[in-house]
Each structure stands twice: as C-alpha cells, then as structure tokens.
C-alpha cells in the first residue's frame, strides 16, 4: 500500500491487474506463436524452451509494449530471434531453414494470429472428444514417416482395418469441428 496524492493505493491490486493484462495478451497470441516455433524447430522440448525465453523477454519489456499491436509485434520478433539463436546452436549438419524463410513465417503467423487462436479453441475441443486410443492413433498417423501399411503391421492390424479406423477418427474430429462452428455462428 502506498500514498499517492493523499490517497492510499493498493499496489498489489495494481500489479495483479498488470499481470492479468499481460497474461491475456500472451495467451491470445500463444497458439500462433507456438505453431510458428514448433513448425520450425520441430521439437516439443526446444519449443517449450523458446516459449519460456520469449515470455521472459516480453515480461521484461512489457512496460513499453502494453498496446496489443506493439505487444504482438514484439512477441513475434522475439520468438523469431530466439529461433535464430537456437538454430545457431545446432549442429551445422542439421537441415535448417534460412533466416528469410523464418522471417516470412513469423510475419504470416502474426497476420493470422486471431484465426489461429479461434482455431486452437475448436481443435482443443474436437481432439479432447476423442478417446485416448483414438488420439494416439491420430498422433502416430500424423507424425510418423511410415505409411499406413507399415504402421498397421507394427500394430498387429490389417492395413484396411487401420485405414478405416483412421477415417472414422478423422470424420469424428471434422464433425465436431463443423458442429462447434455452426453453434458459434
């Protein structure tokens, strides 16, 4: 508590308000930034690290970036520099993007930030409606470089059975997305 112009102010309430505004701004941009970072670095661990370092920088510079537009620009620029710094630490042998490609992706992610946030909400709902097994299957088919036949053999299924199962899961996700979108509009 401090006295300001003869009035007793509760500083902790003021600080909490600042923290709330910062968090709201960061969370609104998070899906777009995270997709951008994960898209380039391809590692959940590295993405977490970059997101954390980016958040620290943003928090330190927040006093100069309280306006949503300035905040967004600073956030994507910081994430981009953190990615470039991460890339410099990687082995020269690794296949990495050029600075130009990263900059263009950062600009695109910033431009589509609102749509990404909305999409994230719908995606979270749709995927959380799946069973654990369905999520695992979808995750494997989405990320694995193996074809359906190889995946099916590894799982002890026939390729047709796995194919049909995946089609059913995809339809379930799509139906949920459509339903949510219709409800919202």
Partner 1 sequence: MNRELIKKYHAGTITREELGELQRLLTESEAFRREFLLYSQVEVTLAGQVLFHNDMDEAIQTPPTEGMVKEPKPVKIPVYLQKIVFAE
Q: Total residues contacting partner 1 (rule CB under 8 A)? A: 48
For 117, left (φ over 0), alpha (ψ -120 to 50), or beta? alpha
What is the C-alpha to C-alpha distance for residues 71 and 15, in angstroms, rounded to an integer?
18
Which of the 8 DSSP states describes residue 157? S
Give 56 or 161: the residue with its C-beta nearer to partner 1. Answer: 56
Residue whose pair of structure tokens reads 């099916």 in the numeric block = 152
Pick the binder of partner 1 from 2, 7, 13, 95 (CB under 8 A).
95
Distances (CA, A) of 80 to 34, 38, 117, 132: 11, 12, 19, 34
Helix pair angle (148-155, 132-143), 10° resolution: 140
The nearest distance, CB 115 to partner 1, in angstroms, is 9
Scanning 3-11, 76-84, 115-123, 154-162 for contacts with partner 1 by CB under 8 A, the matching segment is 115-123
Does residue 63 interact with partner 1 by CB under 8 A?
no
Residues in the site for partner 1, rule: CB under 8 A? 19, 22-23, 26-27, 30-32, 34-36, 38-39, 42, 44, 47-48, 51-52, 55-56, 59, 95, 97-98, 100-101, 104-105, 108-109, 112, 116, 119-120, 123-124, 127-128, 132, 135-136, 138-139, 142-145
């Amino acid at each position: 508590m401090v006295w300001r112009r003869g009035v007793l102010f509760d500083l902790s309430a003021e600080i909490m308000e600042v923290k709330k505004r910062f968090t709201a701004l960061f969370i609104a941009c998070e899906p777009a930034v995270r997709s951008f970072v994960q898209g380039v670095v391809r590692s959940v661990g590295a993405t977490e690290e970059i997101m954390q370092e980016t958040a620290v920088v943003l928090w330190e510079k927040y006093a100069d970036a309280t306006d949503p537009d300035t905040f967004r620009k600073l956030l994507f620029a910081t994430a981009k520099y953190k990615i470039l710094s991460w890339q410099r630490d990687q082995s020269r042998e690794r296949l990495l993007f050029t600075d130009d490609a990263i900059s263009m992706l950062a600009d695109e992610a910033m431009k589509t930030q609102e749509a990404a946030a909305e999409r994230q909400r719908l995606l979270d709902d749709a995927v959380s409606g799946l069973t654990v097994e369905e999520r695992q299957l979808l995750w494997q088919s989405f990320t694995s470089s193996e074809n359906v036949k190889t995946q099916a053999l590894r799982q002890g299924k026939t390729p047709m059975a796995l194919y049909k199962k995946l089609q059913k899961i995809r339809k379930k996700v799509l139906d949920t997305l459509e339903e949510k979108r219709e409800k919202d509009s």
